[in-house]
């Protein structure tokens, strides 16, 4: 079933003066109008524990876009609080992805920049009676937490004195205890209907080397705690996040309010010592729906498994929904931003059909991609009425809809490659291409007739022979002669052999996450998601720069592979077919 959603509330006045209307932008307008904020500051805060994927495009477009629209700034912050799963490789890829999408950040920050601040804030919470050191194991914590219908129970260590808690927390900091032996927990309400408020952990012990701080810290802050206070330190005005954090908002606000950085400058003294700027504030958290697309998975854990189990060829495999992967596939920043802008922002989760994304790419590339000719399943066609060694150049426009793309010369000779699928000995009903004794127009070269079919010893067709009507060239007297079809071609003498990778959807079912039948997403991998063929391209395609996109006429949109393509050994990836081949009846 094709699920296509048009999200209401996101409108654009015209191309010259875009005015977007959605609930987040309205909140920002109201906050500015009421004087609650003098300037807007947002942040994009990914965890560097994997590569960014298509779903992050909406967050990037929202965080950076809203800041820019209202004259504000946006930080890129790496929330690096779990060093066991983080890697500088991911940090570099995240920065590359953001820049590729056309954005730049006001400041590049890391949550680890604030570890000293977060530790001092932990001591402050203990002194206020708002935090305690707990000796329960992870399993015991789960037992004490309760359920959605039953309240939790207080930890037996909840009533430790301030002095004992401070002593234990400082010894945790000193590295005295083994991993998992103790945690620092907030003292909120074990009877709360919101499980996130049932005395959540703020710090855990992990003797793991951190990519930025080395072995300086044997304890690391939990995400919610570090995230909220990092926003407050940076002076973030609007903390924009996806809906799964809606239930975390009370904890976010609790941390910001209880620590109260704005009125306790001693907590940010470590930043002053390092020369790091800070702007203490109380951010406003606002949630919006995730970007979900069928025929794919968006879980970092599952994407990581695909890579680690060699089910794909790395994070930049063009079948992957990672931004590195779809960039290599040939998706453009313009197409992705157009896609998310049309969907807009809402509070309602929905599933977007993959074809909506593909159609946006087609629309973008139709306007932006020059045209070239390529043959992917070659069949030789010899024009017997041209002399041996015949060679000439024909003039072609680079884009039929935009003269500004200019023109190019394409070599033409006696022997051509045409698509094998453009010939049929026994044509089906409605066939408009080449048949024995029939005519067809060669794109830009004139009308040809097939006179003879050559077979090998096994009876396979290996060559066609025919003639070119010399008066049927564009601009000649016979050019208007009616024929049913037009096919493309390349000169066999001049065409360049090319590796062409035909990519399709990675999964064969719309919801690969659905395990109701006992199968996992691994069982739904599409065996036809990649096919490699040896084709022929015109010389002007072979000399493309890596990442240059073309429409191969009558075939689809292709991109020169950003890693493997060379002029003397071209490699092209299919970005998307000319038409949707997955819809019913396609």
CATH number for the domain that contains residue 356? 1.10.1160.10
Same domain, 388 and 328: no
CATH number of the CATH domain containing 550? 2.40.240.10
Compute the mean pLDDT over every residue in the chain, rounded to the nearest whole number. 94
Same domain, 177 and 307: no
Same domain, 173 and 70: yes
Q: What is the average pLDDT across 5-12?
A: 36
Same domain, 310 and 283: no
Looking at residue 49, its pLDDT comes to 95
Report d(CA 94, CA 101) in Å as an integer. Answer: 11
Residue 12 pLDDT exceeds 60 = no
Query: Are the C-beta atoms of 45 and 287 separated by less than 8 Å?
Result: no
Residue 18 pLDDT exceeds 80 = no
pTM assigned to the model: 0.92
Report d(CA 292, CA 351) in Å as an integer. Answer: 5
Determine, yes or no, domain membership for 12: no
β 351-352/292-293 pair status? parallel
291 annotated as belonging to a binding site for a ligand: yes
Q: What is the average pLDDT across 432-437?
A: 95
Active site residue 429: no
Catalytic, out of 25, 47, 86, 204: 47
Determine, yes or no, domain membership for 34: yes
Report d(CA 553, CA 402) in Å as an integer. Answer: 15
Active site residue 300: yes
% of the chain at pLDDT higher than 90 = 90
Residue 117 pLDDT exceeds 70 = yes
Catalytic, out of 300, 319, 337, 505: 300
Query: Are the C-beta atoms of 340 and 56 separated by less than 8 Å?
Result: no
136 annotated as belonging to a binding site for a ligand: no
Q: What is the average pLDDT across 406-424?
A: 97
Report d(CA 558, CA 552) in Å as an integer. Answer: 7
- Cα angle at 503 between 542 and 585, to 5 degrees? 120
Q: What is the pLDDT of residues 37-55, one digit of tens each?
A: 999 999 999 999 999 999 9
Which is more confidently placed, 222 or 275? 222
242 annotated as belonging to a binding site for a ligand: yes
48 annotated as belonging to a binding site for a ligand: yes
Looking at residue 284, its pLDDT comes to 96
Same domain, 350 and 211: no
Active site residue 47: yes
Residue 70 pLDDT exceeds 60 = yes
Q: What is the average pLDDT across 74-95?
A: 96
The parent domain of residue 353 ranges over: 292-368
Query: Are the C-beta atoms of 223 and 79 separated by less than 8 Å?
Result: yes
225 annotated as belonging to a binding site for a ligand: no
Report d(CA 133, CA 136) in Å as an integer. Answer: 9
Half-sphere exposure of 351 (CA within 13 A, CB side): 13
Q: What is the pLDDT of residues 334-355, one digit of tens each?
A: 999 999 999 999 999 999 999 9
CATH number of the CATH domain containing 202? 3.40.50.620
Which of 318, 336, 368 finishes a domain? Answer: 368
Looking at residue 194, its pLDDT comes to 97
Which of 459, 493, 527 finishes a domain? Answer: 493
Catalytic, out of 206, 290, 433, 473: 290
Residue 113 pLDDT exceeds 80 = yes
Looking at residue 6, its pLDDT comes to 35
Determine, yes or no, domain membership for 16: no
- How many structural domains are present in the chain? 4
Determine, yes or no, domain membership for 4: no
Residue 584 pLDDT exceeds 60 = no
Which of 461, 493, 525 finishes a domain? Answer: 493
Looking at residue 20, its pLDDT comes to 83
Same domain, 327 and 208: no
Query: Which residues does 455 contact at the CB level (< 8 Å), separation at least 6?
Result: 461, 462
Looking at residue 586, its pLDDT comes to 41
Looking at residue 1, its pLDDT comes to 32
Same domain, 519 and 458: no
Determine, yes or no, domain membership for 69: yes
Q: What is the average pLDDT across 262-277?
A: 91
Query: Which residues does 58 contact at the CB level (< 8 Å), separation at least 6?
Result: 288, 290, 291, 340, 343, 345
């Amino acid at each position: 079933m094709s699920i296509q959603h048009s999200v209401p509330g996101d409108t654009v006045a015209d191309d010259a003066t875009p005015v977007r209307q959605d609930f987040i932008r309205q909140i920002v307008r109201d906050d500015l109008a009421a004087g609650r904020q003098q300037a807007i500051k947002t942040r994009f805060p990914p965890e560097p524990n994997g590569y960014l994927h298509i779903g992050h495009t909406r967050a990037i477009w929202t965080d950076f876009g809203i800041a820019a629209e209202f004259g504000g700034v946006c930080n890129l912050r790496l929330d690096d609080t779990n060093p066991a799963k983080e890697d500088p490789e991911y940090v570099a890829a995240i920065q590359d992805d953001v820049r590729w999408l056309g954005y730049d950040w006001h400041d590049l920050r890391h949550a680890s920049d604030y570890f000293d601040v977060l530790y001092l804030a932990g001591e402050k919470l203990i002194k206020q009676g708002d935090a305690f050191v707990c000796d329960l194991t992870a399993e015991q914590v789960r037992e004490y937490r309760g359920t959605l219908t039953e309240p939790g129970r207080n930890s037996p260590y909840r009533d430790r004195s301030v002095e004992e808690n401070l002593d234990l927390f400082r010894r945790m900091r000193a590295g005295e205890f083994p991993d998992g032996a103790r945690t620092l927990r907030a003292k909120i309400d074990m009877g709360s209907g919101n499980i996130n408020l049932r005395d959540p952990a703020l710090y855990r012990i992990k003797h793991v080397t951190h990519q930025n701080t080395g072995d300086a810290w044997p304890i690391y802050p939990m995400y919610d705690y570090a995230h909220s206070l990092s926003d407050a330190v940076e002076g973030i005005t609007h903390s924009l996040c996806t809906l799964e954090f809606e239930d975390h908002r009370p904890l976010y606000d609790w941390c910001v309010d209880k620590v109260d950085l704005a009125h306790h400058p001693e907590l940010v003294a470590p930043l002053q010592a390092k020369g790091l700027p800070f702007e203490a504030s109380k951010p406003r958290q606002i949630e919006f729906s995730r970007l979900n697309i069928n025929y794919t998975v968006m879980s970092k854990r599952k994407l990581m498994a695909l890579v680690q189990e060699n089910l794909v060829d790395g994070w930049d495999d063009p079948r992957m929904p990672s931004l590195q992967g779809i960039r290599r596939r040939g998706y453009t920043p313009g197409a992705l931003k157009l896609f998310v802008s049309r969907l807009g922002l809402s509070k309602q989760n929905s599933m977007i059909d993959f074809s909506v994304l593909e159609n946006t790419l087609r629309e973008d590339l139709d306007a932006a991609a020059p045209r070239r000719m390529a043959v992917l399943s070659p069949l030789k066609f010899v024009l017997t009425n041209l002399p041996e060694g015949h060679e000439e150049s024909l003039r072609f426009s680079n884009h039929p809809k935009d003269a500004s793309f200019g023109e190019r010369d394409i070599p033409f000779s006696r022997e051509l490659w045409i698509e094998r699928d453009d010939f049929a000995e026994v044509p089906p009903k409605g066939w408009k291409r080449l048949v024995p004794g029939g005519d067809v127009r060669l794109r830009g070269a004139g009308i040809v007739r097939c006179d003879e079919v050559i077979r090998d010893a096994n009876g396979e067709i290996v060559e066609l022979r025919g003639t070119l009507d010399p008066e049927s060239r564009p601009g000649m007297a016979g050019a208007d002669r009616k024929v049913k079809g037009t096919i493309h071609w390349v000169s066999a003498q001049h065409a360049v052999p090319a590796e062409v990778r035909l990519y399709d959807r990675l999964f064969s079912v719309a919801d690969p996450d659905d395990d109701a039948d006992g199968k996992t997403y691994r069982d739904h991998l599409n065996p036809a998601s990649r096919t490699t063929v040896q084709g022929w391209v015109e010389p002007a395609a072979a000399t493309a720069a890596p990442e240059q996109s073309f429409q191969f006429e009558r075939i689809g949109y292709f991109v020169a592979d950003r890693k493997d393509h060379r002029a003397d050994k071209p490699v092209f990836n299919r970005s998307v077919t000319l038409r949707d081949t997955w819809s019913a009846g396609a």
